[in-house]
Amino acid sequence: VPVINGTATDNEALAGIEYSVDGGVNWLQVDNDKGLGTKNATFSFKPLNLEDGNYPIIVRAIDTSRNIGLSDKKILVIDRLPPQVGGSNISAGPQIFQPNEDGVTYSLVGVDQKITFSAVGGATQIIIDAKGVFAKDPSKTFNLTKSPDTGLWSGIISFDKAGEYILTANSVDGAGNKTAKVVSTVQALQPGRIISKNQPLKDAEVVLYYQEPTTNTWTVWDGASYGQTNPQKTDAQGQFNLFVPPGKYYLKADAKNHRTLISNIFETKETMPILSSLSMKESRSFKVANKTFHIPSLLSDTAELKPPRLPLLHFIKPSPIVNKQISDFTLQDLNGQAVRSIDFSGKPTVITFISSWSPSAKEQLAVLSKLQADKKYNIIPIVGQEGSGRIKPIISISGIPLDVLTDPDGTAVDLFGVQSLPVSYIIDKHGLVKKVMVGVLSKEKIINALGD
């Protein structure tokens, strides 16, 4: 960061000189000044602890009568690193859509989802380019915004057509540097449907019921908390959109002049879409003078909801890091001590990327803590694109004993090509990456992977 020098004048006498690095929201005293109490003064200051980014610098001079004069605003660009995004989460309300074992996240046509990730390098603009795998699939772009409170980038993604999409984050910083990184592969699926006589049934009311695990009572599922509508009406294609978290459910459908349809009770072990096509029967009717009258039925029909058959994916490539030696890198622990990756040699190793802001990444902490107690393995949690100041309080409050490394510049994030959080890399005692595992993992699953 450069030292900034300047002069200030007043027709009476200068009392103080301050500067701001956020366009005048907050002010600090300059580091050095000479001539206060006279009409002319000089000053200098060096802003501290500035990460990559664009900073609007303003200086103000205050005279002995409390009058204030402002300098012109100048943009200070700090550019140590190219702009680079980190691991992401895709969510709807509190519901996190974890990628499957191939790194693919499922979505439903017409459902809004939020993508969130960190970034380093002072990005001033990030745009997501969602490109269909096949030429017939449309491409879309999504603009992201940066939170002034958390520094995270986020935006809404949604797809109008079923298909496979590769999501690439295109970043630009204040110095004009540009980078592109694949952040996710999304499979947008056709939602569930209600039909009658093999034709889509519009305006059928679909209600999803959920069993409370503590009381075993059934209640209407709170879709609004997950960014979804429940109950909901089917559209002109008979479609309804439901993406449910783990739990026990059943579905009920009602439509004018049709018999009520109730599904079997089904259970999901992970977040899953409802893709079934359900057929409703018309209620009994009779005709009088060419008019049809339907008789309300007290009976209902049943339908079996089966686990969705997810379509075959065409764009699945193994992670390019698998079966390759990990590159040497050096990070710091929470005490500021340097740790080199070469120190992991000789033992099976798990490197897991976590963050202070990702709910699912924080879920992984307790399991990693238990595994660290077993000295047969190297269990290495890395906090990507964050310093120790953010993760220390979380570990302290949780009471979980856990040694972690910090990667504030995203060096390891970039080396491993981290896309989603959490993600774990299984490494053998020779330093070869054997497997990449996404999502929150149990202790048993990690141990089995190390054994393999």
Domain ranges of the chain: 4-78, 84-189, 192-303, 330-451
Answer for the pair 224, 252: CB distance below 8 angstroms, yes or no: no
Mean pLDDT of all residues in 115-140 = 90
pLDDT at 400: 85
pLDDT at 315: 55
- In CATH, 192-303 is 2.60.40.1120: yes
Share of the chain above pLDDT 90, in %: 68
pLDDT at 416: 95
Of 86-90, 96-100, 318-322, give the range with the top mean pLDDT.
86-90
Mean pLDDT of all residues in 16-35 = 97
Average the pLDDT over each of 50-54, 55-59, 308-312 and give the range with the smallest value: 308-312
CATH fit for domain 4-78, picks 2.40.110.10, 2.60.40.650, 3.90.79.10, 2.60.40.10: 2.60.40.650
* Helix-, strand-, coil-residue percentages of the chain, each rounded to 5: 10, 45, 45
Number of C-beta neighbours around residue 394 at 10 A: 18
Q: What angle do CA 190, 194, 200 make, to 5 degrees?
A: 85
pLDDT at 95: 84
Element housing 61 (H / E): strand 53-63
Mean pLDDT of all residues in 75-100 = 91
Domains 84-189 and 330-451 share a fold: no
CATH top class, domain 84-189? mainly beta
Average the pLDDT over each of 80-89, 163-172, 182-191, 294-303 and give the range with the smallest value: 294-303
pLDDT over 80 at 287, yes or no:
no
- In CATH, 330-451 is 3.90.1300.10: no
Of residues 247 and 374, more confidently modeled: 247
340 band by pLDDT with thresholds 50, 70 and 90: very high
Share of the chain above pLDDT 70, in %: 95
Average the pLDDT over each of 200-204, 270-274, 367-371 and give the range with the smallest value: 270-274
290 band by pLDDT with thresholds 50, 70 and 90: confident
Mean pLDDT of all residues in 328-333 = 95
> How high is the mean pLDDT of the chain?
91
pLDDT, tens digit (0-9, with 9 covering 90-100), for 385-428: 999 888 888 888 888 889 999 999 999 999 999 999 999 999 99
Answer for the pair 209, 265: CB distance below 8 angstroms, yes or no: no
Q: CA end-to-end span of the chain, whole Å? A: 49
Mean pLDDT of all residues in 51-67 = 95
| SS3 (DSSP) at 257 | coil
Sign of CA dihedral 331, 335, 337, 341: negative
Q: Token pair of 10, please?
A: 């007043």
